[in-house]
Amino acid sequence: MNTSKLFAGLAGSALLAGLTGSAFAADVAPIVPPAPPPMISPPPAPVANWTGPYVGGILGYLRSPTLWEDDTFGDAPQTLSGILAGVEAGYRFQTGNLVFGIEGDWAWTNAAGEVDCGPVGAYTCATDFDWLATITGTAGFAIGPSLLVYAEAGIAFADQNFMVTGPALDPMTGGQINRGWVLGGGAVAQLGNGLYIKGEYNYINFGTDEVEVTNGMLTEDFDLTQNAHVFKLGIGLRF
């Protein structure tokens, strides 16, 4: 009788322990591994602010294929070349990475050339520049923290002199300001503290103009066809 009660008690305890363990297990939340950290995209590269005025100096090289056409002295092709030095000023406006602006420059130049002309090449036809100026609109794209690449288009002006010399002929001279159109492009880099450096190329087409040379006694008109290739380096200050 006592043995039966003992076994009955042990069985009841085991059953109670099993029920209690099951209930406790049901109350414990399953272990979930932590979620991976969210992916964070790197910030966009900073873009420099190009808005504002600027002034600077330019130094460069000019090469100008030129053709005189005249019934008396014949065709006189020549190539003018020389250095140039001057100043520039402009204003830029930036929206996003796009940068627009207007720029003007003026440069003294010693570009000159001459060629034998006239009957049997007995005469010399010479051309030279006094100065060259351009006014252009620009459109560019800002790259990274300090670089701007751009294209430009506008008008160009050149003050030029012309001379014909030869035996038994007092020099015949003339001069005028020619006008043409200009296309070009370049790049500007900011150096900090408002300083910038630039490199630029311009193609200038002056078309064909009528030019007059005279020595007071004789006067001759000829057609001048001319273009120019201009390479510039510059340094300046932004405000």
CB-count exposure of residue 106 (10 Å: 0-12, 13-18, 19+): middle
Cα–Cα dist 25/75, whole Å = 108
Assess if residue 37 is contained within a domain. no
Assess if residue 90 is contained within a domain. yes
Assess if residue 45 is contained within a domain. no
8 Å CB contact between 109 and 231: no
Do both 11 and 92 map to the same domain? Answer: no
How far is residue 92 from each of residues 28, 55, 98, 101, measured CA to CA in Å?
A: 68, 12, 10, 4
Do both 114 and 205 map to the same domain? Answer: yes
Assess if residue 166 is contained within a domain. yes
User: Domain of 3?
Assistant: 1-31
Do both 25 and 80 map to the same domain? Answer: no
Mean pLDDT to the nearest integer, 52-66: 98
Tell me the whole-structure pTM to 2 decimals. 0.80
Do both 88 and 178 map to the same domain? Answer: yes
Do both 8 and 100 map to the same domain? Answer: no
Do both 26 and 60 map to the same domain? Answer: no
SS3 73: coil
Give the model confidence (pLDDT) of 163-212 as tens digits.
Answer: 999 988 899 999 999 999 999 999 999 999 999 999 999 999 999 999 99
> What is the percent of the chain where pLDDT is above 90?
72
Residue 123: CATH number of its domain: 2.40.160.20
Assess if residue 94 is contained within a domain. yes
Do both 178 and 62 map to the same domain? Answer: yes
Do both 86 and 185 map to the same domain? Answer: yes
The domain total for the chain is: 2
Assess if residue 36 is contained within a domain. no
Residue 16: DSSP 8-state: H
8 Å CB contact between 80 and 112: yes
Do both 125 and 159 map to the same domain? Answer: yes
Give the residue among 131, 124, 117 at the shortest CA–CA distance from 82.
Answer: 131
Do both 57 and 140 map to the same domain? Answer: yes
Q: What is the mean pLDDT of the chain?
A: 88
